Structure 1
Amino acid sequence: MKRALGISLVVSTFLMAETGILETITVEGETFSKEVKDISGEELKSADLAEALSRQSSSITLIRGSGIANDIILRGQKRDNINILIDESKVYGGCPNRMDPAITHINADNIENVKIVEGPYDVEHFGTLSGLVVAETKTPSKEPSGEVNLGIGSYGYKKASASASGGNEYIRALFSASTEESDQYKDGNGDNFSDQINNAIAQGMGVAGNRYSKSDLEAYEKKTFMGKIFINPVENQEIRLGYTLNRSDNVLYPSRTMDADRDDSDIYTLGYSFYDLGTYSKELSLETYKSKVEHPMSTKNRVAGAMMYMTAKMDTEMEGAKLKNVVNLGGGELTYGIDVSKRNWDGESYMTTVATGASTTPTLSNTIPDVDTTNKAFFAHYEKNIDRFNIQMGTRYDDTTIKAHRAGQSLVQRYENDYDALSANAILTYKATDNVDYFIGLGKASRVPDARELYHPANSTAILDQVTNYEADLGFKTHYDGFGVKGKVFYSSLEDYIYYNADAKKYVNIDATIYGAELDAYYDISDTLTLNYGMSYLKGQKDEPLAGQSDKDLADIVPLRAVTSVTYHTGDHALKTEMVAAKRWSDVDSENGEQALSGYAVFNVKYNYKVTKHFDVTLGVDNLFDKTYATSNTYKDLTLLSYSGSDDTVMLINEPGRYLYANLRYTF
C-alpha cells in the first residue's frame, strides 16, 4: 500500500498539478504569488487559517499542535523564515514554543483572500526571507450586506459568526464577530488528546505528571471581533481605520508540556491614501499599525499541577509604519518608500498554589529578557512591460538593532546585536503566446535572529549571524479555455541558516540548501465537472553535518505531497471530493529529533446546496475512512514530550479521525 501510494503520487505529478483552483493563481505583475480566494466562504470547518491553507495549497503543510492555533510550513520554511501579515499589519505570537503562531491571530472568518508569495520576492516588508503570506481581510461595501453562519461538527464543535457592512460614498463600515468551541478531537484510533498523552507516557515519552488531570477537558474556546471604517473625505483620498480582537481560552496542547490559559491579541490599524496627485505621485499612502499579544501558559491542567502549577506569561507588542509612493516612470511603474517597526518581547514565570491561589514572585531569568527589535528600511520596486516581456526589479536596505534590557541570562554573552542587509530581486516573464508564459526569478533576502534564538536562557548565547537566502526560480504557465497548468522549480542556498543543534542545546548558524518543484493544474472535464490537482516536492540538505553529528538531512522538509479534487457543480448544487496524500517522510534529521512518518491518503467530501437566494447549507466529511496519521514532525526546536533516555523518542500528535460538520449560512 505504501509503495503504491508513492508510485501514484510520482506518476500523477507528471500528469497534472496543484490544489485549490488554479484560476486564482495570477502571473501578470505577480509571477511568484498565488491567491487563495473566498477563505471565509469556502473554509467553514473552523476559524483555523493554518488548516484552511494546508487544504488549499500543496506547498503549505500544517504543523499540528492543538485543535486550533496551528502553524504552517511553506516550502520547507517556518517561524520567522516566512512572513505572516494581516493586510499591511504584522502580529507575532508570544509563545517561544509556538503555541500561538502569528497565523492563529488571524481568523479565517474575516479573510477574503490569502496571497502567498514563494521565495525572496518581496521588498516592502521586514523579514521576508523565503516566503510571504498576506491575509487580506474583508473590506466595507457601500451597499448594505451581511451574513450569519451557524456551524456544528464532530467532537462537540459549535460555531456562530455574523458580519454586516454598509455605507455611502463618504463613509463605509464593516463589523464582524464570531465564537466557537470544541471538545478534544479523536484520532483514527478513537483516542482523544488525553488518551494520546497516556499512550505516549506508556511508551516512555514524558512522565506521569504530564497527564491531563481530567480526560474530558474542553479543547478550546475562541471569540473574535473585527471592525473597519473607511472614510473618503474628498474624491481622491481614503482614510482606513481597523481593529481586530482575538480571545482564545483554555487551548490544550497535548504534545507540549504546557497548555495556553489564554491567547489574547489586539491589532489596531490606520491608513491614509492620496490618489492621482500629479506627475510625481500616482498613489501616496501611509500605513500604521500596532499589535499586542498576551500568552500565559501553565501546567494547571496537568497532574503535576494538582497542588501547585507553573505559569509562564509571555507578552509581545509590535508597532510599525510604512510610507509608500507610486509613480509612473520611463514607461513603467516605480514604487518606493520607507518601512519602520519595533517589536518588544518579554516574559515572566511564577508558581501558584491551588488551595490558596497565592503566587510566588515572578521569575525573570528563565524567559525572554525584555527584548526590543527595531528595524528601519528603505525599499524600491520597478515594473515595466516591453513587448512580450514583463520586467520586475526590487531592492531593500535594512538596519536592525536587537537589544535585551535584562542581563543575567545564563548563557548569553552579549545583550545587543546590530545587523544590516541589502536585499534585491529580479523577475523576467516572457509571454511566448497568448496562452503560454515563461518566467525566471533571482532573489536575495535576509532575516535577523529573533529574541528566542538570541537570548532565551535555555538555548542561546546571543552570538548568531543573520540568515541570507540566495534563490533562483524557473517556471511556466499555460492557460486555455477549460484547462491550465503552472509548473515551477526552485533552488535556495541558505547562508548562515539558523538551526537548532539538539546535542549542544542551542541555535547555531549553518549553510544549507533547499530545492524542489511544484505543479498546478485544473481541467474542466465538462460544463459541470472540474478536476484540480496540486503537487509539491522538496529536498533539503545541510552543507556539512552539525558538530558531533553525521546526518545531513535538513529538518522540516516535507515529502512529496499532492492534493486532488473533483467538483461537480450544477444549478444550486456543488459536490467536491478531495484526496490529500503524501509519501512516507523518511528523509529526516533524526539526530535533532525528527522521526520517520508513514505516508497517507485521506479523502474528504463537501456538499453545498443553495436553498434560496439568501440561504445555503453545507455538509462535509473529512477523513472519510477514519485513517490514523500524522503530518507534524518532532524537530527539537519545539519542546515536546520526549523520553530522556537513549531512545530519545518524541511524542507525535495524530490528526483528527472522521470528522462530520454542517454549516447554515444566511446572506443579505
Structure 2
Amino acid sequence: MNKIVGMSLIVSTFLMAETIDLGAITVVGETLSKEVKDIRGDDLKSADLADALSRNSASITMIRGSGVANDIILRGQKKDNINILMDDAKIYGGCPNRMDPTITHINADNIENVKIVEGPYDVEHFGTLSGLVVAETKTPTQEPSGDVNLGMGSYGYKKAAASASGGNEYIRALISASTEQSDQYKDGNGKTLSEQLNNAIAQHMGMATNRYRDGDLKAYEKKTFMGKVFINPVENQEIRLGYTLNRSDNVLYPSRMMDADYDDSDIYTFGYSIYDLGTYSKEINLEAYKSKVEHPMSTKERVAGATNYMTAKANTDIEGAKLKNVMSLGGGEFMYGVDMSRRNWDGVKYSTNVATGIQGASTVFIPDVDTTNEALFAQYITTIDAVKLQFGTRYDDTEVKANKKIAGSNARDKNDYDALSANVLATYKVNNNVDYFLGFGKASRVPDAKELYLGTNSLGNLDQTTNYEADAGFKTHYDNFGVNGKIFYSILKDYIYYNSSKYVNIDAVIYGAELDAYYNMSEAWTLNYGMTYLRGQKDDPIAGQNDKDLADIVPLKAIVGVTYHQAEHTLKTEMVAAKRWNNVDSDNGEQELPGYTVFNMKYNYQMTKHFDVTLGVDNIFDKTYAVSNTYSDITLLSGGGDVMLMNEPGRYAYINLHYKF
C-alpha cells in the first residue's frame, strides 16, 4: 500500500505537469512568495490556522499536539527557523514545549490571506532564516458590512463568529469576535485523545499517573476579539490602530506530560503612513507593535495531580518598531529602513496542594531572558529589458541576556551576535506567459532562551545559525492552466539541533522541489495540484550517534483537488497523500510513519445574495494516520523506547451557516 501511495504521487506529478493553476496561490518576486486566500471561507472546522495552511499548501505540514493550537513545518523548518507575523506584528508563544506556538495566537476567522515567503529572501523582519509566514488580517471598509458564522461539527464542535465594519472617508472601524469549543476528537480507530493516551501507556509509553482523571474532558475552549480603526486625517496620510485578544482555556495535550490551563495573548499594533512626499519619498511607513502571552501548564487534570499538581508558568512579551522609506532611484524602487525589537521570556515552576490551594516555592526554568535586536535593511528592485532584479541586505546587532540564574547552572548570562544578510533574485520574463527565476540568499537567526538555557548541560554559548540558499524555478500562466515549479538547496551552518537533553550546533543541508498547478477543464470544472519533496542530512553524525538524517524532513506530499462550480453550487473533492516517512533521525526520537491517502469533500450552496450554507466531510473513509513525527526537541511521553504519536481525527462532518451584509 505504501509503495502504491509513493508511486501514485510521483506518477501524478509528471502526468499533471502540463495541465495545472495555482488558483488562490500566486508566485511573486515576488517569485518566492505564495499567497493563500480565503482562509476564513475554507477553514470552517476551527480557528486553527496551522490546520488551514496545511490543507491549503503542500509545502506546509502541521505538527499535531492537540485539538487546536498546532504548529507548522515549512520546508523542513519550524520554530524560530521560520518567522511568523500577524500583519507587521511579531509574536512568540510562551511555552518552551510548543503548546502555544506563535501561529495559534492568530485566529483563522480574522485572516484575509496568508503570504508565505520561502527561503532567506526577507530583509525587513528579524529572524527570517528559512521562511516567512505573514497572516494579513481583515481591514475596515468604508461601506457598512459584516458577517455572522455559525458552525457545528463532529465531536461536539460548536462555533460562533461575527464581524462588522464601516465608516467614512476619514475614519473606518472593524470589530470581530468568535467563540468555539470542542470535545475530544476520535481517530480512525474510534479512540478519543484520552483513549489514545491510555493506549500508549498500555504500550509502556509513559506512566499510569500520566492518565487523565476524567476521560471525558473537553479538548479546548477558545474566545477571540479583534478591533481596528483606520484614520485618514488628510488625503495622503493614514493612521492604523489595532488590538487582538485570544483566550484559550483547558487545552488538552495528551502526548505531553502537562496540559495548558490557559493561553492568554494580547496584541497591540500601530501604523502610520505618509504617501507622495516628493522626489525622495513615495511612501514612509512606521509600524509599532507589542504582544504579550501568559501560559501556565500543569498536571492538575492527570492522575499525578490528584492531590498535588505541578505548574510551569511561562510569560513572554515582545515590543518592536520598524520605520522604512520607499523612493524611486535609477529607474527602480529603493526601500530602506531601521528595525528594532526586544523580547522577554520568563518562566517559573511550582507545586500546588489541591486540598489547601497553597503553592510551594517557585524555581526558575526560563531565566528572565531579554533578546534585543537593532537592524538596518535595504532593498532595490529594478527591471532591465526582460529581467527583473531584486537586491536585499540587512545588518543585525543582537544581545541575548539572562537576568536570572538557573540553580546549579554555570551558563554565561549574556551573548552578543551580529550578522549581515543579503540576497539577489533575478526573474527573466520570456513572454507574457512564462517566467524563469534564480535566487541566492544568506540569512541568520540567533538562539532563543530555551536553546541557550534549558538543556541539562547547556553553557549558554550556542552560535547563531546561518542559511546559505539557492533557489531556481519557473512560472507559467495561460488562459486555462498554469504551473509553478521550483527547486532549492540550503546549506545550514551552525544549525541549532537537539541532542541528548541539550542543543548543539551542527552543519547540515536541506534540498527539495515543489510544484503547484491548476487546470480549468471547463467553465464549471477546475483541477488544482500541489506537491513538495524534501531531503535533509547532517554533514556528519552527532558525536556518539550514527544517523545522518535530519529531523522534521517531511516526505513526498501531494494535494489534489477537483472543484465544480455552477451558479449557486460549489463542490470540492480533495485528496491529501504522503509517502511513507522512513528517512528519520532515530537517534533523536523520530520513528518511521506509514504513508497515507485521505479524501475530503465540501459543498457550498449560495441560497441568497446574503446567505450561504456549507456542508463538509473530512477523512471520508475514516483512516487512522499521523502527519507529524516525534523529534525529541519537544518532550513527549515515552517509556524509554517508542514515543507516543498523535493520530489525526477520523471521519469529521461539519456544517456552517454564513450570513453577510
2:654 corresponds to 1:658: no
Deviation at 1:24, TM superposition (A): 3.4
Name the SS for the 1:12 alignment partner: helix
Within a 5 Å distance, the mapping from 1:185-584 to structure 2 comes to: 185-364=185-364, 367-456=365-454, 458=456, 460-502=458-500, 505-584=501-580
Give the TM-score normalised by structure 2: 0.99
Q: Distance in 1 between matches of 2:18 and 2:424?
A: 25
Deviation at 1:412, TM superposition (A): 4.2
Check 1:636–1:23 CA distance in 2 against 1; reply closer, same or farther (3 A cut).
same
Check 1:110–1:422 CA distance in 2 against 1; reply closer, same or farther (3 A cut).
same
Deviation at 1:358, TM superposition (A): 1.3
Contact 1:16–1:534 (CA<8 Å) still a contact in 2?
no
Deviation at 1:29, TM superposition (A): 3.4
2:75 corresponds to 1:101: no
Deviation at 1:71, TM superposition (A): 0.1
Give the TM-score normalised by structure 1: 0.98
Aligned-CA RMSD value:
1.2
User: 2:636 matched to which residue of 1?
Assistant: 640
Deviation at 1:482, TM superposition (A): 1.0
Farther-moved stretch of structure 1 (469-478 vs 401-410): 401-410
Give the letter aligned to residue 414 of structure 1: R
Q: Flag structure 1 segments of 5+ consecutive residues without an equivalent.
A: none
Q: How many equivalent residue pairs?
A: 661
Deviation at 1:458, TM superposition (A): 3.3
Q: Distance in 1 between matches of 2:330 and 2:373?
A: 31
Name the SS for the 1:140 alignment partner: coil
Q: Distance in 1 between matches of 2:321 and 2:68?
A: 30
Name the SS for the 1:369 alignment partner: strand
Name the SS for the 1:44 alignment partner: coil
Within a 5 Å distance, the mapping from 1:42-57 to structure 2 comes to: 42-57=42-57
Deviation at 1:387, TM superposition (A): 1.4
Q: Distance in 1 between matches of 2:505 and 2:432?
A: 46
Q: Flag structure 2 segments of 5+ consecutive residues without an equivalent.
A: none
Contact 1:553–1:588 (CA<8 Å) still a contact in 2?
yes
Q: Cα deviation per residue 1:615-665 (whole Å; 9 max; x = unaligned)?
A: 000000000000000011000000000013xxx210001000000000000
Q: Distance in 1 between matches of 2:375 and 2:626?
A: 41
Within a 5 Å distance, the mapping from 1:131-210 to structure 2 comes to: 131-210=131-210
Contact 1:153–1:660 (CA<8 Å) still a contact in 2?
yes
Q: Distance in 2 between matches of 1:70 and 1:25?
A: 22
Check 1:580–1:531 CA distance in 2 against 1; reply closer, same or farther (3 A cut).
same
Name the SS for the 2:23 alignment partner: helix
Q: Cα deviation per residue 1:472-493 (whole Å; 9 max; x = unaligned)?
A: 0000011100100010000000
Give the letter aligned to residue 281 of structure 2: S
User: 1:121 matched to which residue of 2?
Assistant: 121
Check 1:161–1:305 CA distance in 2 against 1; reply closer, same or farther (3 A cut).
same
Q: Distance in 2 between matches of 1:20 and 1:108?
A: 27
Q: 1:592 aligns with which of 560, 567, 588?
A: 588
Give the letter aligned to residue 643 of structure 1: G
Deviation at 1:20, TM superposition (A): 11
Name the SS for the 2:77 alignment partner: coil
Contact 1:19–1:562 (CA<8 Å) still a contact in 2?
no
Contact 1:473–1:490 (CA<8 Å) still a contact in 2?
yes
Contact 1:455–1:462 (CA<8 Å) still a contact in 2?
yes
Name the SS for the 2:160 alignment partner: strand
Give the letter aligned to residue 533 of structure 1: Y
Q: Distance in 2 between matches of 1:626 and 1:42?
A: 21
Q: Distance in 2 between matches of 1:459 and 1:661?
A: 48
User: 1:71 matched to which residue of 2?
Assistant: 71
Q: Cα deviation per residue 1:147-198 (whole Å; 9 max; x = unaligned)?
A: 0000000000000000000000000000000000000000000000111111
